[in-house]
A and B are shown apart, each in its own frame.
Chain A
Amino acid sequence: MDAQIYEVKQFLNNKTYLPLGDRGKKIMDILRFITAGSVDDGKSTLIGRLLYDSKSIMIDHLEAIEKQTKNREDGEIDLALLTDGLRAEREQGITIDVAYKYFSTPKRKFIIADAPGHIQYTRNMVTGASNSELIIILIDARHGVIEQTRRHSIIASLLNIPHVVVAVNKMDLVEYSEDVYNNILIDYDVMAKQLGIKHITYIPISALNGDNIVDPSQHLPWYKGDTLLNFLENVSIENDINLTNSRFPVQYVIRPQTEELHDYRGYAGKVISGIYKVGDAITVLPSGVKSKISLIELGGKPVEEAFAPQSVILHLEDDVDVSRGDVLVRDEDLPQVEQQLEVLICWMDSKPLVAGNKYLFQINSTRVRSILKSIDYKLDVNTLEKDYSPQNVGLNDIVRATIKTAQPIAFDSYQSLRVNGGAILIDETSNVTVGACMIQ
């Protein structure tokens, strides 16, 4: 083993690391969030405002959007232009695809996904939402809860996004009325209960004027809660990572095959959940072969344990057959291993989803062929009713289906462990990702 223990500095210009000291104590973490809601509810404006009021916009970017706004009739600077980065978006005044924006405060780094509200681009919203730990659902105070609000809320619930904020926007257009706000809360609450969304934080705002975004609003004296930024900075996210159920999908096998590292065989991957310690008894899935962890390397250094979401290299005591697509789990806590899967699918292709069709099924680094056995029902986004014999399944529909895979898959139910319960469907003829699956 000794020959295999080496220091990363050997490879990295012979430099040593700065002491861990100051990064161990006060850590700055990352919150990834998305803005959602119907077309024109003000998602892009909100993000622009958040960046503007937190002084995160560079002067040249501001000048650029000021220049563009000058060509407009009303002359107000349009903060939505900060995220609407494609020509087609600026021309049409809508968001087409997700834009990612970044800012940080001393407490946190924020990664924002600005989603399109237009129904046609729902799949892009799902793309942004899948990696978010928090979703801000905007509602136009004048219109209240409408179809797209419902659709995006369903997606938030399906994706099991841990934190939900409902921001009632354009309060300036309803005279900052507490009644209007309260009525929307009542409506939303009813729907949230149906969808099983818990822990919702409601905030009245005006993205255009900056009410309650970074600074508390004088126009909303009746509101006693946090401003949006305050909430984003302080919401507790430590527990969003699962450190209990250990899952390690193997991405790549490292075998230098040099003279000195002749027997080196390391399994490179990311601990997607849980903790692994040297000496842990593990099972390789789907084969079921057993072994023990003999060495864990992090950035070229041996460590005693690895935890989510670290990327590491694991070594096993025995010379067992392990390759990309296998999952290493601890013996005491096994995922399910099946070939027949019940899934909820967000369909993302313009070609319809048809029972009997074959697709590639990919969960983390495992990709296998699969066949869509049956469509059990389609969800009506407006009524939340289940249609047990749908005529067709098209773009942006949500269905429950049964999939059979060519090989057994090691998975957890999405609701219990997101990182090992989400999968994609790939159309073998076009290579395009056509569906997002949440395994039940």
Chain B
Amino acid sequence: MINNEIKNSEGISNPPLGARGLDYLDQLESESIHIMREVAGQFERPALLFSGGKDSIVLVHLALKAFRPGKFPFPLVHIDTGHNFQEALDYRDNLAAEIGEKLIVRNVGDTIKAKNLTEPKGKFASRNALQTYTLLDTIEEFKFDACIGGARRDEEKARAKERIFSVRDEFGQWNPKLQRPELWSIYNGKIDKGENVRVFPISNWTELDIWNYIRRENIALPSIYFAHNREVIEYQGQFVAMSKFVELEPTDKISVKKVRYRTVGDMTCTAAVESDATGIDDIINEIIATKTSERGETRIDDKVSEAAMEDRKKNGYF
């Protein structure tokens, strides 16, 4: 009743709110769907970059809500480094088949051969940086004008600065000092030929929001997100999965630990978390209690420099 009396800054008084309050997950979901539909409405050849990780799985779920019963107005595109977890690849193939959407896979290994690139060396040689070449080639091959990605602003401080429609030049470069103004929920996706826009529909979600949404919507995930026994190498306080991509040294201690993954990237640059969490509720409790950020706990490659992400983005990285 009292609500009825109050006028807001626009001078209107609403009907009683009743059950019409949207909680934060509903609001985030609606915003993301709106962004995806703007992509569908504004671009000729968009794509959804799909990695098999939880964020891109949520993107697919949102796309189902945005476009069903119609088909997606874009294919799923995976830039495969060749160092992925098999569980994530299987999940990817199953999902694409199940929802009946087109999946395009391009391999970093092929780019390395075709372009004579130098394979990264070292103990945990990561092809993460080389992904950019394959991504830019793929964009060119299919003439994609927009690429939807699952990056979130809470992940990293350079991402915290990026617009939802982030314009990239012909070389895929981000210019953080000259971003377009982005007002209200009005998105300007106008570009010249050769340029493309990276679109981030879940910019405003946090890691915990993603997990709570996965729980609420009952979204299936690759099994490596849940606690399982795995052979790992301990490296600078982090656990890295044993795999054929790791260069073993005599001093390495290999042990079996119960772990889960907080993010799913390359086997060589993603660390596991020791955990007993076998169900989604356990995971959420652990995420609430953790004192370390997602990247801090799981990425081996970001520690190199303060501006590692900013620099990579400037060069066309996602």
Chain A residues close to B by CB (< 8 Å): 4, 6, 8, 11-13, 15-18, 23-24, 27-30, 58-61, 64, 68, 82-83, 85-88, 90, 96-102, 104, 109, 111, 123-124, 126-127, 130-131, 160-163, 198-199, 236, 238-245, 251-252, 254-256, 261, 264, 266, 268-270, 272, 275, 299-300, 307, 309-311, 324, 348, 360, 362-365, 415-419, 422-424, 426, 431-433, 436
Contacts and interface: CB of A to CB of B under 8 A. Distances in A.
A17 B25 CA distance: 14
Contacts of B293: 58, 60-61
Contacts of B84: none
Nearest to A238: B17
Interface string B166-206: 01000000001101111111101011100000000001101
B10 A131 contact: no
B27 A29 contact: yes
Contacts of A12: 61, 64, 217, 219
B3 A97 contact: no
Interface stretch (B66-74, B105-113, B244-252): B66-74
B236 interface: no
Nearest to A98: B161
Find the residue from A13, A64, A363, A423 having the highest chain B CB count within 10 A: A13
Given A99-B157, A240-B9, A29 B21 contact: yes
Contacts of A99: 157, 160-161
Nearest to B176: A86
Contacts of A16: 218
Nearest to A254: B70
B97 to A, nearest CB: 12
5 contacts: A30-B24, A58-B291, A59-B296, A251-B34, A275-B20
Given A16-B218, A130-B183, 20 more contacts: A8-B64, A15-B220, A17-B217, A17-B218, A24-B19, A29-B23, A58-B296, A60-B292, A60-B295, A85-B157, A86-B307, A240-B9, A243-B20, A244-B14, A256-B70, A266-B70, A268-B66, A269-B34, A309-B22, A433-B180
Interface in B1-26: 3, 6-15, 17, 19-26
B277 interface: no
A433 B3 CA distance: 38
Contacts of B186: 362-364, 422-424
A352 to B, nearest CB: 17
A264 B156 CA distance: 42
Question: Considering residues B153, B157, B190, which has the most beta carbons from chain A within 10 angstroms of its beta carbon?
Answer: B157
Nearest to A97: B161
Nearest to B157: A85
Query: Which label, helix, strand, loop or mixed, suits the secondary structure of the B interface?
Result: loop
B188 A424 contact: yes
B183 A127 contact: yes
B12 A90 contact: no
Given A130-B183, A309-B22, A239 B14 contact: yes
B23 A27 contact: yes
A134 to B, nearest CB: 11
Contacts of A363: 186
Given A13-B220, A102-B204, A242 B161 contact: no
Contact of A310 (B22, B38, B61, B153): B22
Given A111-B204, A130-B183, A254 B176 contact: no
Q: How large is the interface on B (under 10, 10 to 19, 20 to 34, 35 or more residues)?
A: 35 or more
A154 B263 CA distance: 43
A360 B188 CA distance: 10
A251 B160 CA distance: 27
A251 B10 contact: no
Interface-centre pick from A64, A162, A311 (highest chain B CB count, 10 A): A311
A251 B37 contact: yes
Given A123-B181, A311-B34, A423-B186, A85 B310 contact: yes
B215 interface: yes
A266 B182 CA distance: 28
A242 B19 CA distance: 15
A23 B41 contact: no
A64 B23 contact: no
A251 B218 contact: no
A161 B23 CA distance: 21
Contact of A127 (B19, B24, B181, B217): B181
A403 to B, nearest CB: 15
A426 B68 contact: no
B306 interface: yes
Contact of B10 (A23, A101, A365, A417): A417
Q: Which 6 A-B pairs have the closest CB atoms?
A: A85-B157, A60-B296, A58-B293, A27-B23, A311-B33, A162-B9
A348 B179 CA distance: 11
A396 B24 CA distance: 34
Nearest to A16: B218
A23 B34 contact: no
B125 interface: no
A432 B8 contact: no
Contact of B12 (A130, A163, A242, A311): A242
Contacts of B158: 85-86
